[in-house]
Amino acid sequence: MNRIRLFLGIILCSLFFVQYVTNAQTSFTLLSEKTQEAIITDLSIAINNLAQASKPVGGDDETYWAASMVDSLYKVVTVQNKPFLEQIATIHHMNSYFAYGMNYFSSVVGMYSCPEEAGYARYSVQVCDSLANNAKVAGYKDIMAVADLSAYSYFYTQLYVTMLHKINGHKDFKDRDLGYTLQNLGLLRYVNEKGVFTEEELTKIYFAFDAVCFYKSYYGYLMSLTYDDTQRKKTHEKLIEYAYYIDEVSGPFFEAVYADEYQPLKMTNDEFEAFMLKATEIKVDIMRLLTEQFQLIAEDQKNASAE
């Protein structure tokens, strides 16, 4: 957790002083308008449905408040003629509220069993609100401002699984992927500062990293809340299939980033568009599966209270 603490310390100290190199590009030219609209529509609906389904599962006032914030942002993100990166940032902001809503009760209960994680979770709203504001100040033109918000949004999503295990007495549980998104953020910052890649290449790298980070954040979440053995097996098989695809596509990006010398990315814009559509399909399906689990849990709670 030391590396995680370091990244959190850095971001908390600089939330109001972050300066981004504002790019001149004012429109997102890597994707067609039709594809942009499809991605924003599908992702925003999926995360809003997920947050609303989480209300009876979280069960406290903060969960309901967080879900209402997600719904408010959903109404904002669906407004047409907003820049693509602004809409992507808003979707990550929605995700951060969903994560907070689910984490709040666990952060209170876990003050003794997992105080470090509980502390991070309780301040997640302040952190992500500030990062969302930084993206706004940057005019949503700098991919790093969006990357900061997405990385911390996913980090707080992962915290739920870690707290859940520790609260339930699984003291030896270690989420190997907790902090992965922050490590990738550090790598992306390093690459950006080196100035090796073009703006277009850096944007493609970010979205490849984003697909990996989403998967790692939601995999444990979904599996931890899928209790039926048959459904659990089917879900696991589907997630493994998704993992193979994401690894295959993102692999060359990681190789290029870690290379000693500059290697131009070989993904064409058409290939990038196909990847973005597939990555969105995967995200939406994973959120759909988690939404269904929330609905099942809520139904079980309702039946139990009626007995």
Q: Report how far residue 245's alpha carbon sits from residue 39's, in angstroms, rounded to the nearest whole number.
A: 18
Contact criterion met (CB below 8 Å) for 139 and 149:
no
Supply the pLDDT for residue 112.
Answer: 57
User: Would you write out the chain's pLDDT as a tens digit for each of its 307 residues?
Assistant: 544 444 454 444 444 344 444 443 446 789 999 999 999 999 999 999 999 999 988 778 888 999 999 999 999 998 767 899 999 999 999 999 999 988 887 777 656 566 777 777 778 889 999 999 999 998 888 899 999 999 999 999 888 877 777 776 666 666 667 778 899 999 999 989 989 899 999 999 999 999 999 999 999 889 888 888 999 999 999 999 999 999 999 999 999 898 878 888 889 999 999 999 999 999 999 999 999 999 998 888 877 777 6
Q: Residues 133-167, buried b or exposed e (16+ Cβ, 10 A)? A: bbbeebebbbbbbbbbbbbbbbbbbbbbbbbbbbb
3-state class percentages of the chain: helix first, strand second, coil last, to nearest 5: 75, 0, 25
- Sign of the dihedral through C-alpha 26, 31, 34, 35: negative
Closest CA to 168 of 110, 100, 121, 218: 110
Question: What are the angstrom distances between the C-alpha of 60 and each of 53, 82, 237, 279?
Answer: 13, 34, 33, 33
Coil, strand or helix at 115: helix
Supply the pLDDT for residue 19.
Answer: 44
Coil, strand or helix at 172: coil
Q: Report how far residue 62's alpha carbon sits from residue 251's, in angstroms, rounded to the nearest whole number.
A: 39
Closest CA to 155 of 302, 8, 52, 25: 8
Supply the pLDDT for residue 226.
Answer: 86
Put residue 67 in one of left, alpha, beta given phi > 0 → left and psi -120 to 50 → alpha.
alpha
Supply the pLDDT for residue 174.
Answer: 65
Question: What are the angstrom distances between the C-alpha of 1 and each of 4, 96, 157, 159, 169?
Answer: 5, 21, 16, 12, 19
Q: Report how far residue 46's alpha carbon sits from residue 87's, in angstroms, rounded to the nearest whole number.
A: 14
Q: Which two tokens stand for residue 234?
A: 């089917």
Put residue 197 in one of left, alpha, beta given phi > 0 → left and psi -120 to 50 → alpha.
beta
Supply the pLDDT for residue 178.
Answer: 75
Supply the pLDDT for residue 47.
Answer: 98
Supply the pLDDT for residue 21.
Answer: 43
